[in-house]
Structure 1
Amino acid sequence: MIQELKAGYGDQFEAALIQEIAQVGTFRDVPEGSKLIEIGEYIKGMPLLISGVIKVMREDPDGDELLLYYLEQGDTCSMTMSCCMGQTRSEIRAVAETDVRLIMIPVRKMEEWTAKYRSWRNFVFDSYNTRLNEMLHAIDSIAFLNMDERLINYLREKARVNQDNTLHSTHQQIAYDLHSSRVVISRLLKKLENLGKIELHRNHIEILEL
Protein backbone atom coordinates (compact mmCIF):
# COMPACT_ATOMS: atom_id res chain seq x y z
CA MET A 1 0.00 0.00 0.00
CA ILE A 2 2.81 2.38 0.87
CA GLN A 3 4.43 1.81 -2.51
CA GLU A 4 1.15 2.50 -4.33
CA LEU A 5 0.72 5.75 -2.42
CA LYS A 6 4.29 6.80 -3.11
CA ALA A 7 3.82 6.08 -6.82
CA GLY A 8 0.69 8.23 -7.01
CA TYR A 9 1.36 10.93 -4.39
CA GLY A 10 5.02 10.67 -3.39
CA ASP A 11 5.89 13.85 -5.29
CA GLN A 12 3.15 15.78 -3.45
CA PHE A 13 3.16 14.45 0.13
CA GLU A 14 5.92 14.04 2.68
CA ALA A 15 6.74 10.58 4.04
CA ALA A 16 4.94 11.15 7.37
CA LEU A 17 1.69 12.03 5.60
CA ILE A 18 2.00 9.01 3.29
CA GLN A 19 2.34 6.83 6.41
CA GLU A 20 -0.77 8.34 7.99
CA ILE A 21 -2.80 7.93 4.82
CA ALA A 22 -1.86 4.25 4.69
CA GLN A 23 -2.84 3.79 8.34
CA VAL A 24 -6.28 5.40 8.29
CA GLY A 25 -7.29 5.06 4.64
CA THR A 26 -9.37 2.28 3.15
CA PHE A 27 -8.28 0.90 -0.22
CA ARG A 28 -11.01 0.08 -2.74
CA ASP A 29 -10.99 -1.52 -6.18
CA VAL A 30 -13.88 -0.31 -8.33
CA PRO A 31 -14.71 -1.94 -11.68
CA GLU A 32 -15.32 0.09 -14.82
CA GLY A 33 -18.84 1.52 -15.05
CA SER A 34 -19.51 1.44 -11.30
CA LYS A 35 -20.87 4.49 -9.47
CA LEU A 36 -18.64 5.78 -6.71
CA ILE A 37 -20.72 8.79 -5.71
CA GLU A 38 -24.39 9.45 -6.41
CA ILE A 39 -26.24 12.75 -6.45
CA GLY A 40 -28.04 13.36 -3.15
CA GLU A 41 -25.84 11.06 -1.07
CA TYR A 42 -23.92 12.12 2.02
CA ILE A 43 -20.20 11.55 1.50
CA LYS A 44 -18.32 10.05 4.42
CA GLY A 45 -14.84 10.04 2.94
CA MET A 46 -12.65 11.68 0.32
CA PRO A 47 -11.16 9.54 -2.46
CA LEU A 48 -7.51 9.72 -3.50
CA LEU A 49 -7.10 8.13 -6.92
CA ILE A 50 -4.26 5.58 -7.08
CA SER A 51 -4.91 4.35 -10.63
CA GLY A 52 -7.58 4.50 -13.32
CA VAL A 53 -9.94 7.28 -14.43
CA ILE A 54 -13.16 8.61 -12.90
CA LYS A 55 -15.63 10.85 -14.72
CA VAL A 56 -17.58 13.44 -12.75
CA MET A 57 -21.01 14.59 -13.97
CA ARG A 58 -23.87 16.90 -13.10
CA GLU A 59 -27.56 16.25 -13.74
CA ASP A 60 -30.29 18.66 -14.79
CA PRO A 61 -33.89 18.62 -13.46
CA ASP A 62 -34.92 16.33 -16.34
CA GLY A 63 -32.31 13.73 -15.40
CA ASP A 64 -29.96 14.48 -18.31
CA GLU A 65 -26.25 14.37 -17.53
CA LEU A 66 -23.32 16.62 -18.40
CA LEU A 67 -19.69 15.58 -18.11
CA LEU A 68 -17.74 18.09 -15.99
CA TYR A 69 -14.24 16.61 -15.85
CA TYR A 70 -12.12 13.49 -15.43
CA LEU A 71 -10.06 12.52 -12.39
CA GLU A 72 -6.78 10.71 -12.99
CA GLN A 73 -3.95 9.22 -10.92
CA GLY A 74 -2.87 11.62 -8.18
CA ASP A 75 -6.17 13.57 -8.28
CA THR A 76 -9.07 14.02 -5.93
CA CYS A 77 -12.47 15.67 -6.34
CA SER A 78 -12.77 19.12 -4.79
CA MET A 79 -16.57 18.95 -4.94
CA THR A 80 -16.36 15.81 -2.81
CA MET A 81 -14.10 17.64 -0.37
CA SER A 82 -16.65 20.45 -0.08
CA CYS A 83 -19.45 18.00 0.68
CA CYS A 84 -17.32 16.19 3.26
CA MET A 85 -16.24 19.34 5.06
CA GLY A 86 -19.70 20.89 4.97
CA GLN A 87 -21.52 17.61 5.65
CA THR A 88 -23.87 18.30 2.75
CA ARG A 89 -25.33 16.03 0.10
CA SER A 90 -23.40 15.39 -3.11
CA GLU A 91 -24.30 17.48 -6.14
CA ILE A 92 -22.28 15.34 -8.54
CA ARG A 93 -22.22 11.77 -9.82
CA ALA A 94 -18.86 9.99 -10.09
CA VAL A 95 -18.51 6.89 -12.29
CA ALA A 96 -15.45 4.72 -12.94
CA GLU A 97 -14.42 5.37 -16.54
CA THR A 98 -11.92 2.51 -16.25
CA ASP A 99 -11.12 0.01 -13.51
CA VAL A 100 -10.14 2.18 -10.55
CA ARG A 101 -8.07 1.75 -7.41
CA LEU A 102 -8.45 4.42 -4.76
CA ILE A 103 -8.06 5.07 -1.06
CA MET A 104 -10.84 6.67 0.99
CA ILE A 105 -9.79 9.22 3.62
CA PRO A 106 -12.02 9.78 6.72
CA VAL A 107 -13.50 13.27 7.00
CA ARG A 108 -12.02 13.83 10.45
CA LYS A 109 -8.50 13.47 9.06
CA MET A 110 -9.02 16.01 6.29
CA GLU A 111 -9.33 18.88 8.77
CA GLU A 112 -6.53 17.59 10.98
CA TRP A 113 -4.09 17.29 8.07
CA THR A 114 -4.95 20.76 6.79
CA ALA A 115 -3.48 22.18 10.01
CA LYS A 116 -0.68 19.62 10.34
CA TYR A 117 0.79 19.26 6.83
CA ARG A 118 1.63 22.06 4.41
CA SER A 119 1.72 19.58 1.53
CA TRP A 120 -1.87 18.56 2.29
CA ARG A 121 -3.03 22.19 2.36
CA ASN A 122 -1.31 22.83 -0.96
CA PHE A 123 -2.86 19.69 -2.42
CA VAL A 124 -6.36 20.75 -1.34
CA PHE A 125 -5.98 24.30 -2.70
CA ASP A 126 -4.44 23.08 -5.96
CA SER A 127 -7.30 20.58 -6.36
CA TYR A 128 -9.90 23.31 -5.90
CA ASN A 129 -8.13 25.49 -8.46
CA THR A 130 -7.76 22.68 -11.01
CA ARG A 131 -11.36 21.51 -10.73
CA LEU A 132 -12.65 25.11 -10.89
CA ASN A 133 -10.73 25.70 -14.11
CA GLU A 134 -12.08 22.46 -15.57
CA MET A 135 -15.65 23.41 -14.71
CA LEU A 136 -15.14 26.85 -16.25
CA HIS A 137 -13.83 25.10 -19.37
CA ALA A 138 -16.97 22.92 -19.43
CA ILE A 139 -19.17 26.02 -19.10
CA ASP A 140 -17.23 27.85 -21.81
CA SER A 141 -17.55 24.92 -24.20
CA ILE A 142 -21.33 24.94 -23.78
CA ALA A 143 -21.58 28.71 -24.10
CA PHE A 144 -19.10 29.38 -26.90
CA LEU A 145 -18.49 26.19 -28.90
CA ASN A 146 -20.83 24.49 -31.33
CA MET A 147 -21.58 20.81 -30.88
CA ASP A 148 -19.09 19.81 -33.60
CA GLU A 149 -16.23 21.37 -31.63
CA ARG A 150 -17.48 20.01 -28.31
CA LEU A 151 -17.66 16.50 -29.74
CA ILE A 152 -14.11 16.69 -31.11
CA ASN A 153 -12.79 17.95 -27.75
CA TYR A 154 -14.70 15.20 -25.97
CA LEU A 155 -13.26 12.45 -28.20
CA ARG A 156 -9.73 13.82 -27.81
CA GLU A 157 -9.99 14.00 -24.02
CA LYS A 158 -11.58 10.58 -23.70
CA ALA A 159 -8.81 9.05 -25.83
CA ARG A 160 -6.19 10.83 -23.74
CA VAL A 161 -7.42 9.73 -20.31
CA ASN A 162 -7.95 6.17 -21.52
CA GLN A 163 -4.61 6.19 -23.39
CA ASP A 164 -6.36 4.49 -26.29
CA ASN A 165 -7.58 5.77 -29.67
CA THR A 166 -10.21 3.04 -29.72
CA LEU A 167 -13.25 4.25 -27.77
CA HIS A 168 -15.80 1.70 -26.59
CA SER A 169 -18.65 4.16 -26.18
CA THR A 170 -22.11 4.06 -27.68
CA HIS A 171 -23.57 7.08 -29.43
CA GLN A 172 -26.11 7.30 -26.61
CA GLN A 173 -23.39 7.36 -23.94
CA ILE A 174 -21.61 10.18 -25.74
CA ALA A 175 -24.91 12.06 -26.04
CA TYR A 176 -25.45 11.72 -22.27
CA ASP A 177 -21.97 13.05 -21.50
CA LEU A 178 -22.42 16.03 -23.82
CA HIS A 179 -26.03 16.71 -22.80
CA SER A 180 -27.21 16.18 -26.36
CA SER A 181 -29.35 13.69 -28.28
CA ARG A 182 -28.25 10.42 -29.85
CA VAL A 183 -29.54 11.57 -33.26
CA VAL A 184 -27.37 14.70 -33.19
CA ILE A 185 -24.28 12.81 -32.00
CA SER A 186 -24.72 10.07 -34.60
CA ARG A 187 -25.00 12.67 -37.36
CA LEU A 188 -21.86 14.49 -36.21
CA LEU A 189 -19.90 11.26 -35.82
CA LYS A 190 -20.84 10.30 -39.36
CA LYS A 191 -19.68 13.71 -40.54
CA LEU A 192 -16.31 13.18 -38.82
CA GLU A 193 -16.05 9.76 -40.45
CA ASN A 194 -16.72 11.25 -43.90
CA LEU A 195 -13.92 13.75 -43.22
CA GLY A 196 -11.53 10.89 -42.43
CA LYS A 197 -11.18 11.90 -38.77
CA ILE A 198 -12.63 8.71 -37.26
CA GLU A 199 -13.88 5.26 -38.23
CA LEU A 200 -17.21 4.04 -36.91
CA HIS A 201 -17.59 0.36 -36.06
CA ARG A 202 -20.40 -1.65 -34.56
CA ASN A 203 -19.07 -1.60 -31.01
CA HIS A 204 -16.34 1.05 -31.01
CA ILE A 205 -15.00 4.25 -32.54
CA GLU A 206 -11.48 4.46 -33.93
CA ILE A 207 -9.86 7.91 -33.79
CA LEU A 208 -7.65 8.54 -36.80
CA GLU A 209 -6.93 12.27 -36.86
CA LEU A 210 -8.48 14.82 -34.54
Structure 2
Amino acid sequence: MASTLVQKKFKNILDDTLIKEIENIGKIASFQKDDIIIDINQPLKHIPLLLVGNIKILREDLDGNELLIYFLEAGETCTMSLTCCMGTTKSKIRAVAEKDSTLIMIPVDKMQKWFHENTSWRNFILESYQTRFDEMLDAIDNIAFMKMDERLYKYLINKTKLHDSNIILVKHQDIAEDLHTSRVVISRILKQLENENKIKLSRNKIQVLEL
Protein backbone atom coordinates (compact mmCIF):
# COMPACT_ATOMS: atom_id res chain seq x y z
CA MET A 1 0.00 0.00 0.00
CA ALA A 2 2.77 2.44 0.96
CA SER A 3 4.55 1.86 -2.35
CA THR A 4 1.37 2.52 -4.33
CA LEU A 5 0.60 5.72 -2.39
CA VAL A 6 4.10 7.15 -2.77
CA GLN A 7 4.11 6.37 -6.49
CA LYS A 8 0.66 7.90 -6.94
CA LYS A 9 1.38 11.17 -5.12
CA PHE A 10 4.99 11.81 -6.07
CA LYS A 11 5.66 10.10 -9.43
CA ASN A 12 5.43 13.42 -11.31
CA ILE A 13 7.40 15.30 -8.67
CA LEU A 14 10.32 13.09 -7.59
CA ASP A 15 12.53 10.82 -9.71
CA ASP A 16 12.06 7.05 -9.64
CA THR A 17 15.29 6.35 -7.77
CA LEU A 18 14.34 8.69 -4.94
CA ILE A 19 10.80 7.33 -4.75
CA LYS A 20 12.19 3.81 -4.28
CA GLU A 21 14.50 5.04 -1.52
CA ILE A 22 11.58 6.78 0.21
CA GLU A 23 9.57 3.55 0.02
CA ASN A 24 12.46 1.61 1.56
CA ILE A 25 13.38 3.92 4.46
CA GLY A 26 10.14 5.78 5.14
CA LYS A 27 7.81 4.83 7.98
CA ILE A 28 4.08 4.92 7.39
CA ALA A 29 2.05 6.72 10.07
CA SER A 30 -1.74 7.01 10.18
CA PHE A 31 -3.73 9.60 12.11
CA GLN A 32 -7.41 10.10 12.76
CA LYS A 33 -9.25 13.40 12.41
CA ASP A 34 -8.13 15.94 15.06
CA ASP A 35 -5.03 13.92 16.04
CA ILE A 36 -1.93 16.02 16.69
CA ILE A 37 0.77 14.94 14.24
CA ILE A 38 3.48 17.41 15.26
CA ASP A 39 3.25 19.54 18.38
CA ILE A 40 4.86 22.81 19.40
CA ASN A 41 8.29 22.33 21.03
CA GLN A 42 8.44 18.72 19.86
CA PRO A 43 11.93 17.61 18.75
CA LEU A 44 11.81 16.70 15.07
CA LYS A 45 13.64 13.58 13.91
CA HIS A 46 11.51 12.96 10.82
CA ILE A 47 9.78 15.08 8.20
CA PRO A 48 6.30 14.17 6.94
CA LEU A 49 5.20 13.60 3.37
CA LEU A 50 1.41 13.58 3.22
CA LEU A 51 0.00 10.68 1.20
CA VAL A 52 -3.71 10.76 2.10
CA GLY A 53 -5.87 13.34 3.85
CA ASN A 54 -5.43 16.98 4.89
CA ILE A 55 -3.48 18.64 7.70
CA LYS A 56 -3.85 22.10 9.18
CA ILE A 57 -0.78 23.96 10.41
CA LEU A 58 -1.30 26.19 13.46
CA ARG A 59 0.68 28.68 15.52
CA GLU A 60 0.02 29.36 19.18
CA ASP A 61 0.29 32.63 21.15
CA LEU A 62 1.48 33.02 24.75
CA ASP A 63 -2.08 32.49 26.02
CA GLY A 64 -2.47 29.19 24.19
CA ASN A 65 -4.75 30.55 21.45
CA GLU A 66 -4.25 28.97 18.05
CA LEU A 67 -4.12 30.65 14.64
CA LEU A 68 -4.48 28.76 11.36
CA ILE A 69 -1.49 29.36 9.06
CA TYR A 70 -2.19 27.03 6.13
CA PHE A 71 -3.47 23.61 5.07
CA LEU A 72 -1.48 20.70 3.61
CA GLU A 73 -2.92 18.41 0.97
CA ALA A 74 -1.79 14.98 -0.25
CA GLY A 75 1.50 15.19 -2.14
CA GLU A 76 2.84 18.03 0.04
CA THR A 77 5.14 18.47 3.02
CA CYS A 78 5.31 20.98 5.86
CA THR A 79 8.08 23.46 5.12
CA MET A 80 7.95 24.92 8.62
CA SER A 81 8.92 21.51 9.99
CA LEU A 82 11.65 21.33 7.32
CA THR A 83 13.08 24.61 8.55
CA CYS A 84 13.14 23.34 12.13
CA CYS A 85 14.82 20.11 11.02
CA MET A 86 17.55 21.91 9.11
CA GLY A 87 18.26 24.06 12.14
CA THR A 88 17.97 21.03 14.49
CA THR A 89 15.48 22.99 16.60
CA LYS A 90 12.13 22.08 18.10
CA SER A 91 8.87 22.51 16.23
CA LYS A 92 7.38 26.00 16.18
CA ILE A 93 4.05 24.80 14.78
CA ARG A 94 1.26 22.34 15.55
CA ALA A 95 0.14 20.01 12.77
CA VAL A 96 -3.37 18.58 13.24
CA ALA A 97 -5.18 16.08 11.02
CA GLU A 98 -8.07 17.88 9.32
CA LYS A 99 -9.42 14.43 8.45
CA ASP A 100 -8.08 10.88 8.62
CA SER A 101 -4.58 11.07 7.14
CA THR A 102 -1.67 8.84 6.15
CA LEU A 103 1.92 10.07 6.00
CA ILE A 104 5.33 8.63 5.29
CA MET A 105 8.00 9.87 7.69
CA ILE A 106 11.53 10.52 6.39
CA PRO A 107 14.61 10.72 8.67
CA VAL A 108 16.02 14.24 8.91
CA ASP A 109 19.52 13.26 7.80
CA LYS A 110 18.12 11.93 4.51
CA MET A 111 16.32 15.18 3.84
CA GLN A 112 19.56 17.14 4.12
CA LYS A 113 21.51 14.62 2.02
CA TRP A 114 18.91 14.58 -0.76
CA PHE A 115 18.75 18.38 -0.87
CA HIS A 116 22.40 18.49 -1.92
CA GLU A 117 22.43 15.39 -4.13
CA ASN A 118 19.00 15.06 -5.79
CA THR A 119 17.67 17.70 -8.15
CA SER A 120 14.03 16.55 -8.02
CA TRP A 121 14.01 16.66 -4.20
CA ARG A 122 15.69 20.07 -4.13
CA ASN A 123 13.14 21.46 -6.59
CA PHE A 124 10.27 19.94 -4.58
CA ILE A 125 11.53 21.54 -1.35
CA LEU A 126 12.14 24.96 -2.93
CA GLU A 127 8.72 24.96 -4.59
CA SER A 128 7.15 23.93 -1.28
CA TYR A 129 8.85 26.86 0.45
CA GLN A 130 7.51 29.24 -2.19
CA THR A 131 3.97 27.88 -1.90
CA ARG A 132 3.95 28.05 1.89
CA PHE A 133 5.53 31.52 1.86
CA ASP A 134 2.77 32.77 -0.44
CA GLU A 135 0.13 31.20 1.81
CA MET A 136 1.61 32.81 4.93
CA LEU A 137 1.63 36.19 3.19
CA ASP A 138 -2.00 35.57 2.30
CA ALA A 139 -2.77 34.73 5.95
CA ILE A 140 -1.06 37.95 7.09
CA ASP A 141 -3.01 39.97 4.51
CA ASN A 142 -6.25 38.38 5.70
CA ILE A 143 -5.58 39.37 9.29
CA ALA A 144 -4.28 42.84 8.48
CA PHE A 145 -6.60 43.96 5.69
CA MET A 146 -9.74 41.84 5.57
CA LYS A 147 -12.82 42.20 7.73
CA MET A 148 -13.83 39.15 9.75
CA ASP A 149 -16.82 38.39 7.50
CA GLU A 150 -14.49 38.37 4.47
CA ARG A 151 -11.97 36.18 6.29
CA LEU A 152 -14.68 33.75 7.34
CA TYR A 153 -16.20 33.45 3.89
CA LYS A 154 -12.77 32.90 2.35
CA TYR A 155 -12.08 30.27 5.01
CA LEU A 156 -15.29 28.45 4.04
CA ILE A 157 -14.45 28.60 0.33
CA ASN A 158 -10.99 27.16 1.05
CA LYS A 159 -12.59 24.36 3.06
CA THR A 160 -14.85 23.40 0.15
CA LYS A 161 -11.82 23.19 -2.15
CA LEU A 162 -9.86 21.20 0.41
CA HIS A 163 -12.62 18.62 0.86
CA ASP A 164 -13.93 18.81 -2.72
CA SER A 165 -17.45 19.39 -1.42
CA ASN A 166 -19.67 22.42 -0.85
CA ILE A 167 -20.85 20.86 2.43
CA ILE A 168 -18.53 21.41 5.39
CA LEU A 169 -18.84 19.42 8.61
CA VAL A 170 -17.49 21.76 11.27
CA LYS A 171 -18.44 23.29 14.63
CA HIS A 172 -18.63 27.05 15.12
CA GLN A 173 -16.11 26.74 17.97
CA ASP A 174 -13.59 25.02 15.67
CA ILE A 175 -13.88 27.84 13.13
CA ALA A 176 -13.45 30.40 15.91
CA GLU A 177 -10.24 28.72 17.04
CA ASP A 178 -8.86 28.56 13.49
CA LEU A 179 -9.59 32.25 12.91
CA HIS A 180 -8.51 33.33 16.40
CA THR A 181 -11.81 34.86 17.44
CA SER A 182 -14.85 33.97 19.59
CA ARG A 183 -17.61 31.47 18.82
CA VAL A 184 -20.21 34.21 19.31
CA VAL A 185 -18.61 36.33 16.58
CA ILE A 186 -18.44 33.36 14.20
CA SER A 187 -22.07 32.38 14.83
CA ARG A 188 -23.22 35.95 14.21
CA ILE A 189 -21.31 36.27 10.94
CA LEU A 190 -22.44 32.84 9.74
CA LYS A 191 -26.03 33.91 10.29
CA GLN A 192 -25.29 37.09 8.34
CA LEU A 193 -23.86 35.04 5.45
CA GLU A 194 -26.93 32.82 5.52
CA ASN A 195 -29.19 35.89 5.29
CA GLU A 196 -27.15 36.96 2.26
CA ASN A 197 -27.87 33.53 0.68
CA LYS A 198 -24.17 32.65 0.56
CA ILE A 199 -24.46 29.66 2.88
CA LYS A 200 -27.05 27.40 4.49
CA LEU A 201 -26.61 26.45 8.16
CA SER A 202 -27.47 23.14 9.82
CA ARG A 203 -26.27 21.55 13.04
CA ASN A 204 -22.46 21.24 12.78
CA LYS A 205 -22.80 21.56 9.00
CA ILE A 206 -22.46 24.45 6.57
CA GLN A 207 -23.43 24.36 2.89
CA VAL A 208 -21.73 26.95 0.72
CA LEU A 209 -24.20 28.10 -1.93
CA GLU A 210 -22.11 30.50 -4.02
CA LEU A 211 -19.17 28.79 -5.74
Q: Same fold (TM over 0.5)?
A: yes
Q: Which bin holds the TM-score, normalised by the shorter protein? A: over 0.9
Secondary structure of 2:89 counterpart: coil
Which residue does 1:76 correspond to in 2? 77
* Counterpart-to-counterpart distance in 1, 2:13 and 2:167: 32
Q: How many residues align?
A: 210
Which residue does 1:9 correspond to in 2? 10
Which residue does 2:187 correspond to in 1? 186
1:115 matched to 2:132? The reply is no
Q: Does structure 2 conserve the Cα–Cα contact (< 8 Å) formed by 1:169 and 1:205?
A: yes
Deviation of 1:2 (Å): 2.2
Deviation of 1:122 (Å): 0.5
Structure 1 stretches (4+) deviating beyond 6 angstroms? none
**Cα RMSD over matched residues?**
0.9
Secondary structure of 2:51 counterpart: strand
Deviation of 1:207 (Å): 1.4
Q: Does structure 1 conserve the Cα–Cα contact (< 8 Å) formed by 2:7 and 2:19?
A: yes
Q: Does structure 2 conserve the Cα–Cα contact (< 8 Å) formed by 1:33 and 1:97?
A: yes
Secondary structure of 1:13 counterpart: coil
1:100-179 equivalences under 5 Å are 100-179=101-180
Secondary structure of 1:110 counterpart: helix
Secondary structure of 1:42 counterpart: coil
Which residue does 2:59 correspond to in 1? 58
Which residue does 2:92 correspond to in 1? 91
Code of the aligned partner of 2:135: E
* Counterpart-to-counterpart distance in 2, 1:164 and 1:6: 26
Deviation of 1:46 (Å): 0.4
Q: Does structure 2 conserve the Cα–Cα contact (< 8 Å) formed by 1:98 and 1:162?
A: no
1:23 matched to 2:34? The reply is no
* Counterpart-to-counterpart distance in 2, 1:118 and 1:201: 49
Deviation of 1:7 (Å): 0.6
Secondary structure of 1:89 counterpart: coil
Deviation of 1:203 (Å): 2.4
**Structure 2: runs of 5 or more not aligned:** none
Deviations 1:46-98 (A, max 9, x none): 00011110000111111111111000011001100011111111111100001
Deviations 1:116-136 (A, max 9, x none): 210011111111111111001
% identity of equivalent residues: 50
